[in-house]
Amino acid sequence: MAAPLLLDIPAFAAPAATKLRHVCIGVGGMGGHDLQRFIAHPDVEIVAICDVDGERLEKAAELVPNARRYQDWRELLKKEAKNFDSLNVSVPDHNHFAVAYSAIKMGKHVYCQKPMCHDVEEIRKLTEAAVKAGIVSQLGTQHASGKGDRTAVQWIREARVGKIKNVYLCSNRPGATEAYRFPGPRPEGGESPPASLDWELWTGTAPLRPYHPAIYHPSKWRAWQDFGTGWSGDIGCHIFDAVWKGLGLSAPISVHARVQESWENSPERRADTWPQSNHITWVFPGNEMTEADQLSVEWFDGEFYPPEEIRAMYQDGEYPAESAMLVGTAGALLIPHTKMPVLLPQSQFSGVAYPEMEERDHYHHFVDACLGKTETESHFAQTGPMTEAIILGTVAIREPRKTLEWDSKKMKIPNHPEAERYLSRKYRKGWKV
């Protein structure tokens, strides 16, 4: 990828200060939540906000009436270059890299919603840029800062369940398939977008498609390959985080995916949407935390569920729909998403108490790190390689039933080089970075 178009913007490193001057890119949906969390920090000043949807922009402006308003993030970065220290990227996946990379090249601190980027190559480039620039970064894995995930990481590192033999991740959230994963293909033709929405700006780096209501903006875009990264790309960073961090994993050796037959057997759907169900298996190099010299990590969503014998290990109610299960040589560790972890069998670990931990807000921790008071929980040097592995899983999804060997150093798939076309994409004219 070439250098960004915004190189005429002067680089500006954030000065030491008692107040963080912050910019919000995307202020509707999750972006609206992000805005409110940053507002809640007493040492944050929101100097500018940006959204391609004018209605959402005006609604957000009611919360920060003194913030300057923009619809085009490129204009904001250019005009506000000397007026802010940090920004959050809360826009659809396909535009994460363009915004975050441009900000990092300006020396700005970046909070970016998950997944970090749409493509593997983008993630590698953004991770390297953040490390080289020395900026503060944080991925939007909010629960990584919670007591549940932090306890799980501590217990994994303490080898509470021995050396790990297998890991099972799942996101079988009820209703999610119907609400967010369209079978496709997309409708023919289109209609005019609402007057408040700049559809060309929303589309950004992706191919310019005709606008359709209810299937893209707001929140439905994840179903489409142009814009989203599928269900595993969306939720994977949350479910994987404590496992990755606790085990100290590195780049996978290989990845393999199964998908539901209706998607696999439809060329039209495979070219356009993400499948509604996935079973992804990564093989990672083992280390001192694992039983063997290789570790299998499996992901299940949609109609694919963790093996019945794994779910049966948890006997205190229904198996958590979104969770991670680590099976070790001395027991198992279940990490329900957003909740406290459970050591299994529970009778064996009844005397184990949860460690004492302070409450922590993921957003405020980022702010404090930008002000030089701490270090972030989900900085890009840690979450970049994890997200890279997760998005490599979406490459395997598009080549189902094939085991893809991964050469991380060269970013190559030596046994199936044809799959390398999914590691990056060509940006629309005028949006190349």
Q: Tell me if residue 259 falls in helix, strand or coil.
A: strand
Angle of CA points 83, 86, 89, to nearest 5°: 120
In CATH terms, 20-144 corresponds, of 3.40.50.720, 3.40.50.10540, 3.30.1490.20, 3.40.50.1820, to: 3.40.50.720
Q: Which pairing describes strands 164-171 and 137-139: parallel, antiparallel, or unpaired?
A: unpaired
CA distances 136 to 4, 74, 104, 107, 289, Å, are 20, 21, 9, 10, 29
Q: Which pairing describes strands 322-328 and 294-301: parallel, antiparallel, or unpaired?
A: unpaired
Q: pLDDT tens across 322-345, in order? A: 999 999 999 999 999 999 999 999
CATH class of the domain defined by 147-188+196-361+387-422: alpha beta
Backbone torsions φ then ψ of 255, nearest 5 degrees: -145, 145
Segment holding 131, helix H or strand E:
helix 120-133
Q: pLDDT tens across 177-218, in order? A: 777 788 878 888 899 999 999 999 999 999 999 999 989 998
**Read out DSSP for 268-313?**
HHHTTB--S-EEEEEEEE--TTBSSSEEEEEEEETT----HHHHTT
What's the residue count for the chain? 433
A 10 A CB-CB count for 175 gives 7
> CA torsion sign, 187 to 188 to 192 to 193?
positive
Half-sphere exposure of 205 (CA within 13 A, CB side): 27
Whole-number pLDDT of residue 219: 83
Q: Within the chain, which residues score under 50 in pLDDT? A: 1-16
Whole-number pLDDT of residue 12: 37
Sheet holding 164-171, edge to edge: 342-344, 331-336, 322-328, 164-171, 294-301, 278-285, 254-259, 404-405
A 10 A CB-CB count for 288 gives 8
DSSP tag of 412: B
Fold match between domain 20-144 and domain 147-188+196-361+387-422 = no
Domain spans, the chain: 20-144, 147-188+196-361+387-422
Whole-number pLDDT of residue 8: 38
State CA 87 to chain mean position distance. 17
* Residues 6 or more apart in contact with residue 219 via CB below 8 angstroms: 29, 180
Whole-number pLDDT of residue 17: 65
Whole-number pLDDT of residue 432: 86
